[in-house]
Amino acid sequence: MPTTELSPELVRAAGLIREIPDYPEPGILFRDITPLLTDAAALKATTEALLAPFEGTFDVVAGIEARGFILAGAAAIAAGVGFVPIRKAGKLPRPAASVDYALEYGTATIEMHDDLPAGTRMLLIDDVLATGGTLAAGRQLVEQVGCTVSGISVLFEIEGLGGRELIGDLHTVFHS
């Protein structure tokens, strides 16, 4: 992962991300962020980097299951705001809205409760931007329940898969 113009803490954090070939499907290169998550300094640096461009523009942080969940929870605590879970289908006790979307290796559905006041500003966080399907579905879901996406932030982007063209303006900590 290119690490130009990153702080020493973020360069170190990037070095903790492992690449696992052919997981979860043949031909997919999975980025395992577990080592980054287990390192307090790396997690703090990446959390701060995810939040930095959006300071003061959001009321809550929304995270997409599963790894975006972890990063968004840490970001919400660091920002002193609440956390909104965007879950895979069937994981919430009372789904209010759902969106189906395509993955690079299949299809999926995400769900979210609708109990936030209309117009609530959300910072949407996920771990990776690949084809953009998951983040586009997350944005659609937030808007479907009457809230607004004030920004989108991801840990890293896999360039060349069309995600940025689909999502548009977003903040990426690392590029691959």
Catalytic residue, from 104, 143, 159, 164: name it: 104
- Give yes or no for residue 3 having a pLDDT over 90: no
Query: Among all chains, which residue has been given the structure tokens 């084809």?
Result: 131
5 annotated active-site: no
pLDDT in tens, 76-94: 999 999 999 999 999 998 8
Average pLDDT over residues 51-63: 97
Scored b (16 or more CB within 10 A) or e, 76-99 reads: beebebebbbbbeeeebeebebbb
Residue-level pLDDT at 142: 97
Structure tokens at 6: 């990153």
For the entire predicted model, the pTM comes to 0.91
159 annotated active-site: no
Catalytic residue, from 31, 67, 87, 139: name it: 67
Residue-level pLDDT at 104: 63
Domains of the chain: residue spans and CATH: 53-175 (3.40.50.2020)
